[in-house]
Structure 1
Amino acid sequence: MTIRPRWGGAAVALALSLGLAACGSDDDSGGSKAPAANDARGPITVATGKDLTQTVQKLVAKWNGAHPKEKARLVELPEDGDQARQQLVQNMQIKSDAYDVVRLDAVWTAEFAARRWIVPLPQNLADTRSFVQAALQTGLYRGKLYAEPWLTGTGVLYYREDLLAKAGIKEPPKTWAEMRDACAKVKRLPEGRRTDCYAGQYSKYEGLTVNYSEAVQSAGGQVFDPAGKPQVNSPQAKAGLQFLVDAFKQGTIPAKGITLKEEESRRAFQEGTLVFHRNWAYVYALASAGDGSSKVNGKFGVAPIPGKDGPGSGTLGGNNLAVSSFSKHQASARDFVAYIVSPPVQNEYGRAQSFPLSLAALYDDPEMIKKYPYLPALKKGMDTAKPRPVVVRYNEVSAAVQEQVTAAVTGKKPVDQAAEDLQKTLAALAD
């Protein structure tokens, strides 16, 4: 699992109203309670994602040097967010103490907290005022802090600045129509003949849920309203789904797009085969690599995602750090979490890689903006991004979305039928 906000993560990350939170019910996973919280210290294992930049390893090495009796060991979970979640769930269900600190997609917090798989954290474990407040909210469940926010952000649009300039286009598109027109102009260039227009993440996994909900929001709709009622059969929501269907049908999204996840689509953009690409901010550093691994280094820009009639609305992604209820060394685990999310460590981490972090000050830091010019676009996108719900049954909601959206974009169902079927399923889940 690549370290990224997904949602992301993973990754993840469905932009639904927080009003759905009231629909969840507690589940203590079979009726047996988790062990009582403890203050024991000792070595810990941290379950996280693939450390592409090796920066986390360096931070862990510093921790280990200062805590020789409480050394941390990293364990990499699968790159696929759904597989990573399954591995964590299986671990928790057997009450294994194999993991002490677990990195959760922000949307998993409610499920893990409700099932008592993670322990509440002290409110003073970290300075909550230093966080992006929307990210902090993703660590709460029923008013208690269960996970500290670490990574955050929203989907952004990567675009081939060089090709747009050669086509006479001065600014990135703000609407879907502008994006299609820009692609048509680029395709007329000798350099653009072999490029595809646009791609996000459309494989049948969590990324599809995120991309669908962004399309719905970017058309003025919402998947759930503030009262927790599904609204996927509204005209606006249908317009969002219709955009995805038409994009596949017309070739705006290439046929292979149905197989793409974060990493596959990122590699396609880096190889120079896409004009526009929706992904998370972690892509920036990799696409900017000067070691020959990226064919678009110095040739691309970043902007907020486009929408139906103006700038679109992304999903608020993020990854949080929590302490397992089954850890034998919870005091060490809590201190490690506090260490990783502390301002000095986030500053160091932020300057070494492009994953957007939960420390609010980083988004206005001139040095950071110079190093990562995407930050203003990301901050602007986060202003209109929508959070995913704090809901125990989120996984079922996401699976239902994936099923019906896949049916629509592959032509197995018309948009109206897919929307109505999804509305019925989500209504049943919300009851």
Structure 2
Amino acid sequence: MRFERSHTRKAAFLAVASSLALLATACGGDDGSSGSGGSSSANALEGRGPITLASGKDTSGNLQNQLNAWNAAHPTEKVELKELPDDADAQRQQMVQNAQNQSDAYSVLVMDVVWTSEFAANQWITQIPEDKVPDLGKLVPATVETAKYRDKLYGVPITSDGGLLYYRKDLLTAAGITDAPKTWDELLADCQKVAATPGGKGLNCYAGQFEKYEGLTVNFSEAVNSAGGQIVDKDGKPNVDTPEALAGLQELQNGFKTGAIPKAAITYKEEESRRAFQDGKLLFLRNWPYVYSLANKTDGSSKIAGKFAVAPLPGKDGPGVSSLGGHDYAISSFAKNKATAVDFINFMASEAQQKDNLSKTSLAPTWASLYDDPTLIKQFPYLPQLKASIASAQPRPRVVKYGDVTAAIQQAAYDALSKGTDPKTALSGLQTKLESLITQ
């Protein structure tokens, strides 16, 4: 910082002291922000006017409706949607590039729950004092934790997610099966029974998301966790070179080898797998709650409307463990009009908006009471299962270098599933890689 020379030594001293005080304030010395991550909080949340919302593609069509409602009530503080690609990795890449350029193009970021540590540690998002979010205590506690870094809040959870097992109830019933499978072995046995019926001929057994992107990290994590393993243990150390992790990866690899998982599934992301299920090509599908409304549409876009049901994911010896998904709304450190951004986030987090969004899109809310709403349960019978899925879900590794960590996981899993790499070799290499990336 350059100071102009004062005419007197006293004036110079006062100028320097004043400037240093201002600099300390700007650096967040006393505002509660952590010294190693996140921008300052209270003093940063200033400015009113138009803002932008950077989000993945709005496949539901309802996000713009919610923005229209906000814009109608706030004509001088309108929100413009900046639509990013479908792919979560591509979304993150664009947000990172925007932050590295210190661009104010994005005001509010719709962030995958696993990005918080990375963005906060790099000071790409702004700390939000908890008293600025009046409804925070009414949200599902597990979802609030996803928005924290070093016990400080850097976002607000707007949607949550738990993996669910979608299945063709009509075909299971026709095969004499009354309950959804609780284990992998039961699922495979059900596929054999259905395949022997007229309605099951030519039907593929199961699919998830196995393309080399974030969805593969999710599916791999669920396979490992459902077999009793962990990607990272309770002490924050990598833990994938274990019998449990091996059992999980072998289950997926064997699925591809035997044809229980179709070869095409190695290219599936969420939307490809959803369309395969809706087109009547799959008996079982692992996917998120958003699929429910789309698969039940009666406009001709789904061949299975009214023919499917939802259950918890299967595991090795009983119900499996979902990865905790969802999206938090965070404020870019380089955004203008942060006060407007806070108000907009609170609007989107409100019970009314979350209930509206659930009703129209089947996206999982973070507002806890909505899971017990009788009217909503009548519309979405799976809500109790989803609540249990989210409550028992395991987070993906909450690490600063998450981009590198998830890339390593994806590569190891993809090699085992697409190239036939020995699972033990893949996991041993992954353990070494993660140890170099995750430091305490």
Give the Å deviation of 1:430.
2.1
Partner of 1:213: 221
After the TM superposition, list the runs of 4 or more consecutive aligned residues in structure 1 that deviate by more than 6 angstroms.
none
The amino acid across from 1:130 in the alignment is K
Residue 228 (structure 1) aligned with residue 236 (structure 2): yes
Tell me how far 1:107 sits from its aligned partner: 0.6
* Residue 171 of structure 2 corresponds to residue 163 of structure 1: yes
| Structure 2 equivalent of residue 43 of structure 1 | 50
* Counterpart in the other structure of 1:266: 274
Aligned to 1:8: none
Cα distance, 1:187 vs structure 2: 0.8
Comparing 43-52 with 73-82, which one deviates more in the overlay? 43-52
Stretches of structure 2 lacking an aligned partner (at least 5 in a row): 1-34
CA distance in structure 1 between the aligned counterparts of 2:50 and 2:154, rounded to whole angstroms:
21
Code of the residue aligned with 2:117 in structure 1: it is A
Deviations for 1:151-185, whole angstroms, at most 9, x for unmatched residues?
Answer: 10210000000000001000000000000000001
Using the alignment, how far apart are the partners of 1:407 and 1:351 within structure 2? 40
Q: TM-score, normalised by structure 1?
A: 0.91
Give the distance between the partners of 1:57 and 1:401, measured in 2 at CA.
34
Q: Identify if the C-alpha distance between structure 1 residues 33 and 316 changes in structure 2 by more than 3 Å, giving closer, same or farther.
A: closer
Counterpart CA distance in 2 for 1:84 and 1:277 is 25
Between Structure 1 and Structure 2, how many residues are aligned? 404
Q: Which residue number in structure 2 is paired with residue 328 of structure 1?
A: 336
Q: Take 2:294 and 2:273, find their aligned partners in 1: how far apart are those partners?
A: 13
Q: Name 1:56's counterpart in structure 2.
A: 63
Letter in 2 for 1:223: I
Q: How far does residue 379 in structure 1 lie from its aligned partner after superposition?
A: 1.5
Task: Please say if residues 47 and 102 of structure 1, whose CA atoms lie closer than 8 Å, have aligned partners that are also in contact.
Answer: yes
Which residue of structure 1 lines up, in the alignment, with residue 283 of structure 2? 275
Identical pairs, percent:
51
Q: Of 357, 364, 381, which aligns to 2:389?
A: 381
CA contact (8 A) 2:127 2:152 kept: yes
Partners of 1:316 and 1:38 in 2: CA distance: 29
The structure showing larger relative contact order (alpha-carbon pairs under 8 Å, at least 6 residues apart) is: 1
In 2, the alpha carbon distance for the partners of 1:196 and 1:235 equals 29
**Corresponding position: 1:128 with 2:136:** yes
SS at match of 2:348: helix
1:161–1:301 contact (8 Å) kept in structure 2: yes
TM-score (norm 2): 0.89
Native 8 Å contact 2:37 2:120 kept in 1: no
- Matches of 1:179 and 1:410, distance apart in 2: 22
| Cα contact 2:56–2:88 (8 A) shared by 1 | no
| Residue equivalent to 2:10 | none
Using the alignment, how far apart are the partners of 1:382 and 1:334 within structure 2?
Answer: 26
Of residues 77, 80, 87, the one that matches 1:80 is 87
Give per-residue Cα distances to partners, 1:247-283, cap 9 Å, x unaligned.
1001110011111100000000000000000000000
> Are 2:157 and 2:327, in contact at CA under 8 Å, matched by a contact in 1?
yes
Alpha-carbon distance between aligned partners in 2 of 1:197 and 1:26, rounded to the nearest angstrom: 48
Question: Secondary structure of 2:44's match?
Answer: coil
SS in structure 2 of the partner of residue 124 of structure 1: helix
Q: Which residue of 1 aligns with 2:122?
A: 115
CA–CA distance in structure 1, aligned partners of residues 357 and 268 of structure 2: 28
Cα shift at 1:38: 4.5
Superposed displacement of residue 412, structure 1: 4.0
Question: Following the alignment from structure 1 to structure 2, what is the Cα–Cα distance between the partners of residues 417 and 210?
Answer: 20
Partner SS, residue 364 of structure 2:
coil
Pair 1:249–1:39, CA change in 2 (3 A): same
For 1:41 and 1:194, the matched residues in 2 are separated by 58
Residue 420, structure 1, aligned to residue 411, structure 2: no
- Native 8 Å contact 2:355 2:365 kept in 1: no
2:74 alignment partner AA: H
Q: Aligned-pair distance for 1:353?
A: 1.8
Greater C-alpha radius of gyration: 2
User: How many Å apart are 1:91 and its aligned residue?
Assistant: 0.8
Q: CA contact under 8 A between 1:101 and 1:322: conserved in structure 2?
A: yes
The answer on whether the counterparts of 2:40 and 2:127 sit within 8 Å (CA) in structure 1 is: no
Equivalent residue for 1:369, pick from 367, 377, 382: 377
Q: How many angstroms does 1:27 deviate by?
A: 6.6
User: What is the CA RMSD across the aligned residues, in angstroms?
Assistant: 1.8
Asked if the contact 1:248/1:254 (under 8 Å) is kept, the reply is yes
* Worse-superposed segment, 323-332 or 278-287: 323-332
